[in-house]
Structure 1
């Protein structure tokens, strides 16, 4: 499906952060593992496998969409669980911003076991400018009389950005934490691992409530795991969670303290003729997102995107094939473990577009109504093209950067896809057409007119 420039929104490469070296030279710790805009879109956070959080700030002095480095801090360190003889990686699995209430920023970051609430704020650095032994310009002899004694004076030297862990929420998950979501009331949040979802109060770090528990009495009877969870954007009693059994459960915390009984189950019956050895793996949902108005749900499995109406749980409103060209390669993808890759998905700020990633650093933006799509590639060729003023790869001659993408769509079907390059983590600006894409150790920013 080719698109005309008006429907593609004229997406073009804006910025790239990170080392621009070859993929083979990348340090594992530098690989970006999550990316998230805050609720204003003026700040952007990334977390990496080395446990670092890097924040970017909108550059107001520049026209258009441009971000600059704000601060960086070490959020998590590698740990060792002596009771279970397990190494706990420092890798940041998720970052979620809390709504800004004052001049400081608050954000949650989590690795496999521990969630931290960080306060990031501007701090005035003051130094002693005058004392009994120094007048600010030159040393003074020690005072000889009591009347010569004077109080030291402090002077402002610099403003620095400080990051302080205000709360550490630990020891509540037996399995690896893969999702966190802040409630619309800005007082509570949920964290999820494979078998349980816990509800926390942001102000209480030593106590959480288990609100979903799907662990069977006998682990040999385990048939599904929780894969993602998210709070409803406006109704603080509703949240949803997806499972490896290709379903999404909507739960209401007003019904009961333990939300194992769901209020709604979104599930599509599988066509028996399509069943294969890989069916269970490829139908496992890797990510779910509410639309900003809370009316629709976006879900991503290995081969497709689905849009659900919250009022209709029998089948999705739209099913968008993403990886149809990989159906014949599932055996190879199983061999190299790529079939277990967890692609994320996001809604555009206007709820009219959806975005998800693919292999070879391709990602696709769809119009949720017409399903017209734009294929873009977060690749080094993007900023090379910008430097020399040429078109982006895959565009037809004469087209604006990113306006036509039939060339890239054809390239996606090719045999030569690099499965080590994949777009797993995107984020969309809440109020404008700007997207942030994590591509291995680089952060790409694209914007549309």
Structure 2
């Protein structure tokens, strides 16, 4: 196994290549809504990969050690959640899997948490042996009456191994603790607790106790008309089990310490970039809402994603991010159009690489971007654009480098540098080359992705397909 400290090479020097794809590669118009992937997550070893979809299913993949490079094979599939109906509130609860989080493996079995809008489940996935009776008193095929059997001819039935299957059983069901939709779950570094967050509250759970949780954040006002923000994401610190952070629709990130208060509404640090009120518009509140926050593995940096940008924060500097990457700058003049087609409400994720140096996020036209050495102040600000669609198959067959963006013409490389601006790094987005706004396919949005914890391999959810790209 490669340690994260050994990942000293730059992603920019290693060509990213399409590795494999799982799922139906048919036209997007023929895709069933239930098959759309809604979350992707590598486990702590990177040997297993989990996806959840809008139909409530969880599919697990395992590393195929017999293949060179980074390739996975199907491991097992199970129905995690089903559609429910809340009769008291007359609300339908979707089966869609919002998040999957792996628990650290302690024995031969795997444990993972999955959640829909209301209910969290702890699943045990293990190898189960199926045995059959191979020999008994009637194994000679003669259906003799009991009167003809004597004591000397009686024998104990013999069981022999018939097959081995991968079984999944729910060990705990954590229900009835959230009034609003759950947007985040995060397992603590202590291995015993985890948090779950909805729009207004964050709860702390013990993995072994299903019927009791402890409320650690509550921003619900006494009068709901005074509500000004909601919680959008939350995550535990990777090494300090007392620290966690949560983001808001106002564009702020709050770091809280559970040792200071039982109710952590008073945060210890708040990360927020000042914005000139004169630059505010009707869409500012929507575009500044943070859709995802992540700690780097060493806990030094925080990665946040909103509709327009990716920001990298140093945990010791609250005033401004150390780097700002503009993702959708070319949409700024067309936000009215994205509002009308609801694209402006898309919640993009962003992730760190295993060594915490590079970052990745998604965009439209099935494009996703990798920023090598983004946390390095002296880096050359390179952006690598890749496309998770049919072009990846064609590129692999014809030998065309797959580190080229799908919107580039003439097969040019999309690894490029950008000029600094606005106190951060303004990256020329792929849409800068797109003169026609209508050519952007907003239905092909890369919202969910995950980075292998120990190597340069990434998993990308593109509608109902799971793509794997790697430098191996």
The TM-score with structure 1 as length reference comes to: 0.95
Pick one of 20, 27, 33 that aligns with 2:32. 27
Give the corresponding residue for 1:103: 108
Give the corresponding residue for 1:312: 317
Aligned mates of 1:398, 1:19 — CA distance in 2: 26
User: Are residue 378 (structure 1) and residue 378 (structure 2) matched?
Assistant: no
**For 2:255, what is the secondary structure of its paired residue?**
strand
Q: Relative to 1, partners in 2 of residues 1:216 and 1:161: Cα closer, same or farther, differing over 3 Å?
A: same
Please give the residue correspondences for 1:313-328 in structure 2 after superposition, counting only pairs within 5 Å.
313-328=318-333
**For 1:334, what is the secondary structure of its paired residue?**
helix
Shift of 1:384: 2.5
More moved, 120-129 vs 140-149? 140-149
* Runs of 4+ with >6 A deviation: 395-400, 402-407
RMSD after superposition:
2.0
C-alpha contact 1:10 1:403 (8 A) present in aligned 2 = no
**For 1:333, what is the secondary structure of its paired residue?**
helix
Give the corresponding residue for 1:85: 90
Shift of 1:398: 8.1
Aligned mates of 2:359, 2:284 — CA distance in 1: 25
Give the corresponding residue for 2:424: none
Shift of 1:6: 7.3
Pick one of 240, 249, 263 that aligns with 1:258. 263
Q: Relative to 1, partners in 2 of residues 1:300 and 1:139: Cα closer, same or farther, differing over 3 Å?
A: farther
Aligned mates of 1:347, 1:223 — CA distance in 2: 30
Give the corresponding residue for 1:440: 463
CA deviation map 1:212-264 (0-9, x unaligned)? 00000000000000000000000000000000011000000000110000000
The TM-score with structure 2 as length reference comes to: 0.90
**For 2:338, what is the secondary structure of its paired residue?**
helix
Shift of 1:7: 2.1
Please give the residue correspondences for 1:113-192 in structure 2 after superposition, counting only pairs within 5 Å.
113-135=118-140, 138=141, 141=144, 144-192=149-197
Give the corresponding residue for 1:425: 448
CA deviation map 1:246-292 (0-9, x unaligned)? 10000000001100000001011112232111011100111000001
Aligned mates of 2:229, 2:71 — CA distance in 1: 43
Aligned mates of 1:272, 1:330 — CA distance in 2: 18
Give the corresponding residue for 1:273: 278
Aligned mates of 2:315, 2:340 — CA distance in 1: 37
Q: Relative to 1, partners in 2 of residues 1:417 and 1:46: Cα closer, same or farther, differing over 3 Å?
A: same
Shift of 1:397: 6.8
C-alpha contact 1:391 1:399 (8 A) present in aligned 2 = no
C-alpha contact 1:375 1:409 (8 A) present in aligned 2 = no
More moved, 19-28 vs 385-394? 385-394
Please give the residue correspondences for 1:211-290 in structure 2 after superposition, counting only pairs within 5 Å.
211-290=216-295
5+ residue gaps, structure 2, are 1-9, 418-427
Give the corresponding residue for 2:20: 15
Shift of 1:144: 2.2
Shift of 1:385: 2.4
Q: How many residues align?
A: 442
Shift of 1:408: 5.5
User: Are residue 73 (structure 1) and residue 78 (structure 2) matched?
Assistant: yes
More moved, 365-374 vs 417-426? 365-374
Aligned mates of 1:63, 1:36 — CA distance in 2: 22
Q: Relative to 1, partners in 2 of residues 1:410 and 1:199: Cα closer, same or farther, differing over 3 Å?
A: same
C-alpha contact 1:345 1:426 (8 A) present in aligned 2 = yes
**For 2:179, what is the secondary structure of its paired residue?**
coil
**For 1:365, what is the secondary structure of its paired residue?**
strand
**For 1:154, what is the secondary structure of its paired residue?**
strand
Aligned mates of 1:257, 1:398 — CA distance in 2: 57
C-alpha contact 2:201 2:220 (8 A) present in aligned 1 = yes
CA deviation map 1:341-369 (0-9, x unaligned)? 10000001111100000011111111213
Aligned mates of 2:240, 2:124 — CA distance in 1: 26
Aligned mates of 1:120, 1:36 — CA distance in 2: 15
User: Are residue 36 (structure 1) and residue 41 (structure 2) matched?
Assistant: yes
CA deviation map 1:291-312 (0-9, x unaligned)? 0100010000110000000001
Aligned mates of 2:471, 2:458 — CA distance in 1: 9
Give the corresponding residue for 2:5: none
Aligned mates of 1:291, 1:407 — CA distance in 2: 24
